[in-house]
Amino acid sequence: MENKEIKIKIDGAEYLANEGDTILQIARKNGVKIPSLCYHSDLEPKASCRLCLVAIEGRKGFFTSCSTLAEDGMNISTDSPEIRELRKKNLELLFAQHIERCNSCVRGVNCRFLKLAKEYGVDLKKYDDRKIKYPNFQFGPSIFFNSSKCIDCRNCVEMCEKQAVNFFDLQSHNSFIETTPTKDPKRDCVYCGQCIIHCPSGALSEVDSVPDVEHALADKDKYVVFQIAPSIRTTLGEEFGMEYGVNVTKQTFAALRRVGAAKVFDVSVAADVTTVEEANELIERVTSKKGLPMFTSCCPAWVKFVEFYYPEFIPNLTTVRSPQTILGGLTKTYFAEKEKVDPKKIVVVSIMPCTAKKYEITRKEFDVNGLKPIDYVLTTRELARLLKSHDIDLKEMPMEEGDIPWDSPTGAGIIYGATGGVTESALRTAVHKLCGQKLEKIDFKQVRGMEETREATIEINDIRLKIGIANGLGNAKKILEEIKKDPSKYDYVEIMACYGGCIGGGGQPLPTNKEIRQKRAQGLYNIDETKEVRLADESGTVEKLYKEFFTDKNIIHKICHTHYSQKKKENKF
């Protein structure tokens, strides 16, 4: 450790810490509760909500623990009648601007804000709501911004800045400087939903698709199919009070059947298809040395980012569709034919960790036989709401398998949900195909991890594959700028818009932070370890699919491939 070790006292107890840590960080690490709203460990301390105030012996006044560095020998008190009085007043003032829409709020019963109100005996109606007439904004089909709930912490502004998207502006309005979507034609939302993850007040949420899904479920004429994304299996449990990273795949299938699913499928199966197709494309591009580096395209926020901010890189995106799109397309063709179900009656509902997936399903270029592969996307949070409204507690669900034919993915299809997972899956298959023999070592641990950018070089026979991986679009931007300077820097680049990949997606349970993302990702790797088949190309389902259905290039292209094009600004206000 480079940092010096220091000793501090918090409320009489002694703690060891590193120089450079803030008081709040040390408190959190040691389970000492200090209330806060604007603090998020992904972002710079804002010190704007003024709730994390503490007193430091020998110093006059109060200090926000989120922004005050601990010093050796500090003696800190986190509570006193005076501190409580200040916190209470700040909470009252915060609630005075925020309008309470608790019933329909994305934060639901997990709302820290509301919990603090109870803890501090705050009268929510002490003042008239200042923002009662503030407008709502909708960003594409993905994100809903109720600005009357906004408490001006500006976390979304900073997060969007970190994503290199900069969709939020601070604008002067009636003597206030307020957060608002930008009018700049050169900046547009890419729907990643990271603003939602970092919003403490529930002002930002996904566009609610639960009513549409309920409607479809109630329609006797519809055949409702649910399909679950790789990453949601280690996150949905959190919504029901389960530990971080617990695998709830089987309980999820059971729960979906209870709400009326005709079939429950696993998108990881289609991730295996994506892997096989993407590995083929990679081998093709690497051997022909054309269209390099190749970029992954299963993250729809990343795709929109390229289409809007870096259209010159569109040819670098793999033409392979995302797993949810492939599976929806297969369900409405191959499956429908086999099961003799009218594809027009099939309603495919995807359970995704992601708000950008709601945008992805609106792409016309994905239509298969005139039908949308996916009809609705529910985020992990929305699924939890749907289940709860049906009085279903995931913890009490039995273990059930998914439905044939899309029930058994390989380990490769599971790890898609973590940053580096797509790369590792593609590598397993590409190396296998290029070497033509069984792999001794299946794990490519050099591409795993939570670092925001990673590089690796993989040697396969006489080919050296230079790989770049980034999570977070700000990091993606860095990689793109590198490639502009040195086009041969990488051969294969995996980008996930969200930190940690899909397990940190904009549709995932709240809270989400670095530690939580790590546990969720570990959960996926644990499942992979236990799988007998861990190479996508060895999947029995995939093998059968290619034998029975993917018999010519046209049909493969129709279901599995696409093209992208430059986007104009979609969100104008």
Partner 1 sequence: METDIISKLKEANLLGRGGAGFPAALKWELVKKAEGEKKYIICNASEGEPNVFKDRFILEHYPQEVLNGIDLAFEAIGAATAYIYLKHEYFQKYGGRLKKLIGNKPIVLFEKPQGYIAGEETVICNLIEGRRMEPRQRPPFISDKGLFQCPTLMNNVETFYFASKINKGEYKNTRFYSVNGEVKKPGVYELPLQATIEQVLNETNNYPQFDFLAQVGGGAVGEILSKDELGKPAGGAGSITIYNLNKIDCYKLMENWADFLLNGNCDKCVPCREGIYRIKEMAAKKKLNKEDIDLIFNDLEKASFCALGRGAPTAFRGLISKMEKIQNGK
247 binds partner 1 (CB under 8 A): no
Q: Annotate each residue in 518-557 with x if it binds partner 1 (CB under 8 A) or - if it does not, as one string.
A: ----------------------------------------
Nearest distance from residue 513's CB to partner 1, in Å? 21
Of 9, 89, 222, 531, which lies in the binding site for partner 1, with binding defined by CB under 8 A? 89
Q: How many C-beta neighbours within 10 Å does residue 499 have?
A: 24
- Residue 225 near residue 261, CB atoms below 8 Å: yes
166 binds partner 1 (CB under 8 A): no
Burial 400-437 (b: 16+ CB within 10 A, else e): bebbebbbbbbbbbbbbbbbbbbbbbbbbbbbbbbeee
121 binds partner 1 (CB under 8 A): no
| Residue 145 φ/ψ, nearest 5 degrees | -120, 105
> Residue 149 or residue 154: which is nearer to partner 1 going by CB?
154
Of 5, 85, 219, 396, which lies in the binding site for partner 1, with binding defined by CB under 8 A? 85
Q: How many C-beta neighbours within 10 Å does residue 518 have?
A: 18
Rounded-to-10 torsion of CA 37, 188, 325, 353: 0
> Could you say which residues in the range 316-355 bind partner 1, by CB under 8 A?
none
What is the Cα 373 distance to its own chain's centre? 21
Size of the site for partner 1 (CB under 8 A): 29
Q: Which stretch binds partner 1 (CB under 8 A): 174-182, 400-408, 433-441, 526-534?
A: 174-182
> Residue 40 or residue 46: which is nearer to partner 1 going by CB?
46
Alpha helices in 103-248 (DSSP H): 112-119, 155-162, 194-197, 210-218
What is the Cα 256 distance to its own chain's centre? 21
112 binds partner 1 (CB under 8 A): no
84 binds partner 1 (CB under 8 A): no
- Residue 413 near residue 272, CB atoms below 8 Å: yes
| Structure tokens given for 342 | 């009218």
CA distance 133 to 543: 58
21 binds partner 1 (CB under 8 A): no
| Residue 202 φ/ψ, nearest 5 degrees | 75, 10
Cis peptide before 405 (omega within 30 of 0): yes
> Residue 130 or residue 561: which is nearer to partner 1 going by CB?
130
| Residue 50 φ/ψ, nearest 5 degrees | 60, 30
Of 96, 210, 262, 442, which lies in the binding site for partner 1, with binding defined by CB under 8 A? 96
Point out which residues pair with 350 in neighbouring strands. 227, 377
> Residue 90 or residue 410: which is nearer to partner 1 going by CB?
90
CA distance 224 to 261: 5
What is the Cα 292 distance to its own chain's centre? 27
Nearest distance from residue 172's CB to partner 1, in Å? 6
Nearest distance from residue 352's CB to partner 1, in Å? 33
SS3 220: coil
Of 9, 130, 345, 558, which lies in the binding site for partner 1, with binding defined by CB under 8 A? 130
Of 152, 206, 238, 403, which lies in the binding site for partner 1, with binding defined by CB under 8 A? 152
Of 175, 288, 461, 565, which lies in the binding site for partner 1, with binding defined by CB under 8 A? 175
Angle between helices 323-330 and 267-288 (to 10 degrees): 120
| Structure tokens given for 83 | 């501190």
> Residue 122 or residue 430: which is nearer to partner 1 going by CB?
122
- Residue 413 near residue 536, CB atoms below 8 Å: yes
- From the list 520, 532, 534, 500, the residue with the least C-alpha distance to 424 is 534
- From the list 46, 116, 110, 125, the residue with the least C-alpha distance to 87 is 116
> Residue 180 or residue 324: which is nearer to partner 1 going by CB?
180
Nearest distance from residue 165's CB to partner 1, in Å? 16
138 binds partner 1 (CB under 8 A): no
Nearest distance from residue 569's CB to partner 1, in Å? 23
Tell me which amino acid residue 130 is.
R
> Residue 97 or residue 205: which is nearer to partner 1 going by CB?
97
Using the structure block, give the residue that is written with the tokens 């190749």: 294
- From the list 126, 63, 52, the residue with the least C-alpha distance to 87 is 52
573 binds partner 1 (CB under 8 A): no
Nearest distance from residue 134's CB to partner 1, in Å? 14
Q: Annotate each residue in 37-76 with x if it binds partner 1 (CB under 8 A) or - if it does not, as one string.
A: --------xxxxxx--x-------xx----x---------
32 binds partner 1 (CB under 8 A): no
Nearest distance from residue 46's CB to partner 1, in Å? 8
Of 19, 100, 119, 178, which lies in the binding site for partner 1, with binding defined by CB under 8 A? 178
> Residue 82 or residue 451: which is nearer to partner 1 going by CB?
82
Of 176, 312, 367, 464, which lies in the binding site for partner 1, with binding defined by CB under 8 A? 176
- Residue 163 near residue 194, CB atoms below 8 Å: yes
Using the structure block, give the residue that is written with the tokens 């206030």: 176
CA distance 412 to 536: 6
Q: Which stretch binds partner 1 (CB under 8 A): 71-79, 171-179, 277-285, 532-540?
A: 171-179
283 binds partner 1 (CB under 8 A): no
> Residue 130 or residue 569: which is nearer to partner 1 going by CB?
130
Nearest distance from residue 247's CB to partner 1, in Å? 41
> Residue 34 or residue 479: which is nearer to partner 1 going by CB?
34
Binding site for partner 1 (CB under 8 A): 45-50, 53, 61-62, 67, 82, 85-86, 89-90, 93-94, 96-97, 127, 130, 152, 154, 170, 172, 175-178
